[in-house]
Structure 1
C-alpha cells in the first residue's frame, strides 16, 4: 500500500485557501500548464511511505498511537508560496506552513513519525522535510513559475490547531481523471487515543 502520514487542514482553512486560489487559478490557467490539487486532497505530509505492506499496518497504528500520546497540538496557518525544485523550473507549486509559537515542531514530528513507520516495517521516503501543502503540479516538463509564485505569495489562511495526524492510503489512478484516491485509514489525536 502506498501511504503517507499527514496533517489535514480543517474545512474552514480549506475553504479560505480555495477562496484565495479560485480567481488566481482561473487567471493562471492559460495553456493548462498546472494540474491543481483538489480541495479534498490538501494536506501537509509528515512522512511518505511509498510501500507499506498491509500486514504491517496494525503495528504502525499501535506505534502511531503511542507517538501521538506523547505529543501536544500545535497552532498552524498557511502563508506564502513557493515552487519545487525552483521557480525557474517548477514541478510543484506549494503553500508555506507557519508554526505559530513553536517553531521546529513539524520537523520534530516528521522525524519521529518516520521513525515510527520504520519501526513498523514501512519503507519511508528519505526526502528532506520541508513543511508545505502542494497546490499544483506541472503537466509534463518543469515550468517557469516566477509570476505564478508571485501571484500566490500573498496567501494567508486563518490559524488552526493541528491536534491530529492521519494515516492516509493513496490509491493511484482511482480518482477523477486518473488522479489518486485518498483513504484515511486511521487518525491519531495528539495526547489521546486513536480515532478510527
Structure 2
C-alpha cells in the first residue's frame, strides 16, 4: 500500500512556545477529551495546504517561495484564545487563535499566489490563522466554548522569522518534516 505524500506551507512556532504549549496541552487533556493531540514539534500556523506535489511543481514552488520570503520582513504575532471548528456537539478541531495581523495576511496571500503560479488549487475559505492543538472530540456532551480558558502561557507574542515547506508522514511522530526553510528579511 502506498501512501500519498502531502505538503503544506506554514509559519513554525519557536521552540520556547512549543515547550509552553506542551505543558499547557497536558493540563487541557484532562478537561477536553479529544482523540488526537498534536505532537508539540508539529505545532504551526498553516498558510497553505498543498496536498500532493509533482517534483517539477515542488522545485518551481521552492524557487517562488524563496522570492516570497525576500519580499516580507520579519514580524511578531500575538496569541488570542482557544476555540473549535466544526459542530459544537462534536468539534473536529481544537485550536489556539492568533490575533489579527496585516503582515500575516499579506504573507499568506503571497504564499497563495506562488502556489497558484505552479498550478495548485487551494482552499478558498477565509483565512483563520490558528494553531491546531487537538482533533476529534470524543467527550460526553458538547464543548462549551464560553468556558474555554483565555491564556495558555506567559508567552503572549512570538517572532515570525521564516516560513517552511513541510512534508507530512502519517505513520510517525512528529509527523511533519521540514523540507525547505525560507527566511524572511
Alignment TM class, shorter chain as reference: 0.7 to 0.9
CA distance 1:2–1:113, change in 2 (3 Å): same
Q: Specify the alignment match of 1:116 in structure 2.
A: 114
Write the distance in 2 (CA, Å) between the matches of 1:9 and 1:18: 12
Matches within 5 A, 1:101-112: 103-112=101-110
Deviation by residue 1:12-64 (Cα, 9 ceiling, x = unmatched) = 011112222212213434xxx43111111101001111232122111111101
Q: Which structure is higher in helix share?
A: 1
Distance 2:53 2:18 in 1: 28
Contact kept in structure 2, 1:78 and 1:157, CA below 8 Å: no
Match of 1:77 in 2: 78
Contiguous gaps of at least 5 residues in structure 2: none
Which residue in the other structure is 2:184 paired with?
190
Q: After alignment, is 158-167 or 132-141 more displaced? A: 132-141
Partners in 2 of 1:157 and 1:48 — Cα distance? 30
Matched, 1:94 2:91: no
Deviation at 1:90, TM superposition (A): 1.3
> For residues 138-183 of structure 1, what are the alpha-carbon distances to aligned partners after superposition, in whole Å with 9 as ceiling and x for unaligned?
1579x72216x73443324522210100000113x3215xxx8211
The more displaced of 56-65 and 122-131 is: 122-131
Alignment RMSD: 2.3
CA distance in structure 1 between the aligned counterparts of 2:116 and 2:154, rounded to whole angstroms: 33
Structure 1 unaligned segments of length 5 or more: list them: 192-196
For 2:123 and 2:96, the matched residues in 1 are separated by 21
Q: Which whole-Å CA distance do the structure 2 matches of 1:131 and 1:62 have between them?
A: 25
Distance 1:55 1:9 in 2: 29
Q: Judging changes above 3 Å, is the alpha-carbon distance between structure 1 residues 8 and 21 closer, same or farther for their aligned structure 2 residues? A: same
Q: Relative to structure 1, is the Cα distance of residues 119 and 140 closer, same or farther in structure 2, using a 3 angstrom cutoff?
A: farther
